[in-house]
Every structure is written in structure tokens, then in C-alpha cells.
């Protein structure tokens, strides 16, 4: 009797299980039929045919502007200023008298030295005649000759002292700002004024770490103004023969025309230096990139029937960022079609309709 009860219970449970299974299977079939009738999700994006650009890897360092001719004038001898010709900011020619210190004492001594020279020369002339007739000794004649030479040396020494009190422009230059006045007493070795040459070119000195290949004379670099970000072409004209012992950097000097660059000496500028040969990369907008913990990706668009596209995820290698553009060295090729604006809506294998700005779908190669 118990055995029949167990058999009956098993049959009842099997019937109930079969009913539930058939009910669920029917529901799933109905859901699949409904899903088959619904259209596939579509995303609308803007596309981009990937272009190639020439790219040279470079680094940015700081540089300092130098004037090819620049001196800080100083006086060697002390005295009172009697002539002052230092119009600040104006250009003077080479040899122009800029400042004169009183040299009345030297002038008087120079007159005396010239008179002494004349007397010694007259004495030498008489002694020369007497020496020729053997009427004076060789020693006396030599002393007369030496006296003339000494007088000439005295004159040269005084003339040198006077010239040191007459400061002249060593080259064509622009005069700096000063605070000197006629009658002012100057101690020896006082700072007078800055003179900056008027050449048609300027120099920019900069340094590079030793890890980069050494630049050669004639290599091109780019100079940027810090204030305006303007760029100017320059050429390396000199390479330091040794590295800095403290920084292990190598110093360079570049030259650029001053005709169109208003840069003052000691101005801080930016220097862009190429550190690798030029090569071809592809350029894409930053909005086209999908980023996650696995790297950077873009969606490639493959044309399908009916003018639509199919999105596929492609990993890329980013080389450099330039403004809102990204340079890519690996993962995509020039000419490939990718999703740009609106790509954040995509997922792999999603259907895509391309609308490039005019609101109209773009045609695909599958039509």
C-alpha cells in the first residue's frame, strides 16, 4: 500500500513539473518572438576618416636670450665727471665719447713730458754729432738716447691715463638707463651703464640632458615667447665641449634673426628641441577615444547593407596630445573610419548610423 502511495506521489509531482516547464517554455518563446519583432538598437554618431600627419618627437626646455655684444661699462680711474653723453635708450656709434672724467692734472703732466722730450731730443742731436767726431764717450751718447726713450714712454703713459678717463662706445650700441650727472665724483671701478649691440641677430642659450642625442651645429630648434606663445625658427650655432658637472646637461647656443623678434637680453624663452627623426602618425580628436583601466580605445566603423555601420572596439597607442587632437602611433591606420563625436554611446557590435554635421545619414560602401 505504501509503495502505491509513493508511485502516485511521484506521478503527481512529475505532472506538476512538466506543466511548469511547458508554461515557462511558452513564455520564453513568446518573448523571443516579441524581441525578433523589435528593431535593433541604433546609435547616431559623427565619423572621421583617419588622416596621417608628419610628427617629430620633441621636448621643451627653457632658454635665455643673449646679446652677441653686451658690456657693463666701468671706469678704471677715479675722478669727477666733466662730460656726459649717455642718452638712455638711444643708439650710439662705435667710438662715440660717452663719458669723460677730469684729467687736467694729466694734461699738465703731458705738456711737461712733451717739453722734456723736445729737450732730450735736442740734447741727443748734439751728442750724436759729438759722438760721430769721437768727442764724447759712448756712455754719454747712450744716456742721451735713453733719456729720449724714457720721455716718450712718459708721454705714452700719460696719454693712456687720459684715454682711460674718456669712455667711448666699443661698438654700435643702445645705451641703458643710468643715474649719472656732470660733476659727480666716481670711484674707480664704478658701474657706469649697460651697452647692448645693435646686431640683426640674437642668441638663445639652452641646455639638454645627456640622455638625448647630441644636437649638431645647423640643427633647427623653435623659440617661443613665454608671454605670447609666438614661435620663431632658430639654428644651433655652437655646442659646449663638455657637460655640466652638476646637472649632466649639455649647453647649446642657437641664433635667430632679430629683425622680427623683439626679445631683450636675459629674457626667458621656451625652446622646442627635436629628439627623434620625423615619422608619420595618425591624428584623431580626443572625443573619439574611450578610456578605461585597460587602455585607450576607439570604435572602428565597418559599413553594412542599408547605409548603416557596425562598431568594433580597437585598442590604440597614444603618442602625443596636441590641443584637442591626439597623435596615435599604433592600432589604427590612415583612411580607416572611426566614430568621433557621440562615440561614448557605443558598445562593441552595435549598429551605427553616421550623421556628419548636416543631420543626414552618411552613405556606406555597402549600398
What is the pLDDT at residue 136? 83
Q: Per-block average pLDDT, block size 10, for the chain (367 residues)? A: 63 69 65 58 85 86 94 94 93 95 94 93 89 85 91 94 94 94 94 92 94 92 88 94 92 88 87 88 89 89 86 88 86 89 86 70 47
Q: Quick one: how far is CA 78 from the chain centroid?
A: 44
* Domains of the chain, first to last: 42-56+279-354 (2.40.420.20), 61-68+196-274 (2.40.30.170), 75-189 (2.40.50.100)
What is the pLDDT at residue 311? 87
What is the pLDDT at residue 197? 92
What is the pLDDT at residue 164? 93
> 294: Cβ–Cβ under 8 A, 6 or more apart, which residues?
315
Give yes or no for a contact between 142 and 124, defined as CB atoms under 8 angstroms apart: no
pLDDT digit string (tens) for 194-239?
Answer: 999 998 899 999 999 999 989 999 999 999 998 888 889 999 999 9
What is the pLDDT at residue 33? 55
What is the pLDDT at residue 359? 46
How far CA 32 is from CA of 26, 38, 39, in Å, comes to 10, 10, 13
How far CA 50 is from CA of 252, 294, 331, 333, 336, in Å, comes to 38, 23, 12, 7, 6
pLDDT digit string (tens) for 346-357?
Answer: 888 888 888 876
What is the pLDDT at residue 325? 87
pLDDT digit string (tens) for 116-130?
Answer: 999 999 998 998 888
Range 319-323 contact pairs with CB under 8 angstroms and sequence separation of 24 or more: 319/55, 319/57, 319/281, 320/55, 320/57, 320/281, 321/286, 322/283
Amino acid at each position: 500500500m505504501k509503495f502505491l502511495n509513493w508511485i502516485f506521489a511521484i506521478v503527481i509531482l512529475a505532472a506538476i513539473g512538466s506543466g511548469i516547464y511547458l508554461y515557462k517554455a511558452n513564455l520564453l518563446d513568446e518573448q523571443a518572438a516579441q524581441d525578433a519583432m523589435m528593431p535593433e538598437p541604433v546609435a547616431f554618431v559623427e565619423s572621421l576618416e583617419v588622416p596621417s600627419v608628419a610628427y617629430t618627437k620633441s621636448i621643451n626646455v627653457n632658454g635665455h636670450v643673449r646679446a652677441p655684444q653686451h658690456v657693463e661699462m666701468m671706469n678704471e680711474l677715479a675722478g669727477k665727471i666733466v662730460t656726459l653723453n649717455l642718452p638712455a635708450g638711444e643708439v650710439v656709434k662705435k667710438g662715440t665719447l660717452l663719458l669723460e672724467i677730469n684729467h687736467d692734472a694729466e694734461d699738465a703732466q703731458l705738456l711737461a713730458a712733451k717739453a722734456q722730450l723736445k729737450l732730450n731730443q735736442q740734447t741727443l742731436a748734439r751728442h750724436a754729432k759729438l759722438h760721430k767726431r769721437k768727442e764724447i764717450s759712448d756712455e754719454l751718447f747712450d744716456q742721451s738716447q735713453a733719456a729720449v726713450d724714457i720721455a716718450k714712454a712718459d708721454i705714452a703713459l700719460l696719454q693712456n691715463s687720459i684715454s682711460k678717463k674718456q669712455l667711448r662706445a666699443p661698438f654700435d650700441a643702445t645705451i641703458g638707463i643710468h643715474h649719472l650727472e656732470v660733476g659727480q665724483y666716481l670711484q674707480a671701478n664704478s658701474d657706469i651703464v649697460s651697452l647692448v649691440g645693435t646686431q640683426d641677430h640674437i642668441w638663445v642659450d639652452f641646455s639638454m640632458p645627456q640622455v638625448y642625442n647630441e644636437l649638431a651645429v645647423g640643427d633647427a630648434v623653435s623659440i617661443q615667447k613665454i608671454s605670447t606663445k609666438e614661435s620663431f625658427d632658430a639654428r644651433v650655432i655652437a655646442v659646449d665641449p663638455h657637460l655640466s658637472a652638476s646637472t649632466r646637461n649639455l649647453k647649446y647656443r642657437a641664433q635667430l634673426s632679430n629683425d622680427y623678434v623683439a626679445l631683450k637680453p636675459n629674457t626667458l624663452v621656451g625652446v622646442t628641441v627635436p629628439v627623434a627623426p620625423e615619422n608619420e602618425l595618425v591624428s584623431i580628436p580626443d572625443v573619439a577615444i574611450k578610456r578605461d583601466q585597460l587602455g585607450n580605445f576607439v570604435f572602428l566603423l565597418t559599413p553594412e547593407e542599408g547605409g548603416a555601420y557596425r562598431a568594433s572596439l580597437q585598442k590604440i597607442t597614444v603618442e602625443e596630445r596636441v590641443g584637442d587632437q591626439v597623435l596615435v602611433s599604433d592600432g589604427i591606420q590612415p583612411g580607416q573610419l572611426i566614430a568621433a563625436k557621440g562615440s561614448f554611446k557605443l558598445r562593441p557590435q552595435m549598429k551605427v548610423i553616421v550623421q556628419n554635421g548636416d543631420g543626414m545619414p552618411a552613405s556606406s560602401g555597402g549600398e
